């Protein structure tokens, strides 16, 4: 399944995004080297320097158009980079033509250097943003952590409202996780967490974003059309794990979760929605485990088939 630009990224995606950004930046340094060479040694400049749309012809523009590892929340950073990139090309073209006509002035040089510094400054800000974003991901499972959940929440809720969709929250806890650690050891417990996270990512759809909330607890934010779709999603996700055993020390181990699912209302906080889902989840824990329980605003609960 092709990943949307605003779908939750994992650490591998973020590392790739940082590498691709560095590669694109390196390509632009090579472009600047070409400009310096022509200014010192002469020669005929090519279209990457003199064309009115040179900013669309260089290798850096390829990254701007085709980068897939980009969050919608980060679009402002990329817009600033794109704008500064065009200005820098415009200033470079002015400078190159002046060099060719032997009419370079201190003002032209200052304008070019200022445009170059602003361009590099916006790249540095975006890189810093990606590094901060990466630190909000769990190194064990690769999933985003609760800090990112709180950061994403308002953005996703607003999108649901704009798209006339409902936002639901599904909270899940691995059943009898302590007994897994006691029986198989903590290394096996880490393997289970990694495998559970990978299984959730496999079964999650484009409108389902998963986070590691802490310990053996996970949260999904579901963008759905209504209650029926939310119920089906909760049942599918919780059931999917039980039907896909995890291999631990060459043994197939059936791991289950108990989930609590609730609709997020437009006037409530994420903390309130989590508290309600947590209540439903522990109701399921105390009544058999390996199930998903829906809870309404009034506290009414329903076990989902």
* Two tokens, residue 41: 């040694």
* Residue 211: Cβ-neighbour burial (10 angstroms; 0-12, 13-18, 19+): buried
DSSP string, 11-27: HHHHHHHHHHHHHHHHH
Active site residue 227: no
Dihedral sign for Cα atoms in the order 63, 64, 66, 70: positive
Q: Give me the torsion for CA of 158, 163, 166, 171, rounded to 10°.
A: -60
Question: In 3D, which of 47, 48, 84 has the Cα closest to residue 64?
Answer: 84
Strands 251-253 and 257-263: unpaired
Tokens 């995004």 correspond to 17
Active-site option among 216, 223, 227, 229 = 216
CA distance 80 to 19: 20
CA distance 278 to 212: 14
* Two tokens, residue 46: 């090519």
Dihedral sign for Cα atoms in the order 298, 149, 304, 192: negative
Residues belonging to the chain: 305
* Two tokens, residue 196: 């559970």
Inter-residue contact 31 to 59 (CB < 8 Å)? yes
Angle at 198 between CA 286 and CA 153, to 5 degrees: 70
Angle at 164 between CA 160 and CA 168, to 5 degrees: 45
**Residues with a known catalytic role:** 216
């Amino acid at each position: 399944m092709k990943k949307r630009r605003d779908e939750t990224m994992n650490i591998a995606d973020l590392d790739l995004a940082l590498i691709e950004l560095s590669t694109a930046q390196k390509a632009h340094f090579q472009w600047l080297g070409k400009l310096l060479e022509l200014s010192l040694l002469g020669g005929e400049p090519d279209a990457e320097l003199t064309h009115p749309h040179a900013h669309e012809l260089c290798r850096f523009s390829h990254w701007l158009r085709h980068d897939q590892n980009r969050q919608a929340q980060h679009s402002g950073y990329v817009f600033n980079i794109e704008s500064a990139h065009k200005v820098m090309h415009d200033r470079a073209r002015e400078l190159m033509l002046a060099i060719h006509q032997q009419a370079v002035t201190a003002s032209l040089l200052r304008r070019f250097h200022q445009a170059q510094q602003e361009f590099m400054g916006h790249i540095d800000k975006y890189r810093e943003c990606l590094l901060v974003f990466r630190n909000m991901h769990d190194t064990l499972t690769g999933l985003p952590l609760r800090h990112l959940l709180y950061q994403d929440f308002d953005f996703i809720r607003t999108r649901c409202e704009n798209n006339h969709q409902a936002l639901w929250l599904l909270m899940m806890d691995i059943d009898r996780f302590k007994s897994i650690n006691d029986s198989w050891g903590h290394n096996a417990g880490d393997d289970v967490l990694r495998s559970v996270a990978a299984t959730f990512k496999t079964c999650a759809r484009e409108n389902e974003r998963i986070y590691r909330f802490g310990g053996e607890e996970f949260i999904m934010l579901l963008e759905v059309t209504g209650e029926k779709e939310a119920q089906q999603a909760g049942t599918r996700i919780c059931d999917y794990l039980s039907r896909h055993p995890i291999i631990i020390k060459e043994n197939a181990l059936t791991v289950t979760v108990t989930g609590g699912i609730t609709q997020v209302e437009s006037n409530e906080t994420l903390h309130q929605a989590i508290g309600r889902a947590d209540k439903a989840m522990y109701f399921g824990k105390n009544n058999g485990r390996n199930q998903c329980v829906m809870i309404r605003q009034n506290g009414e609960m329903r076990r989902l088939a």
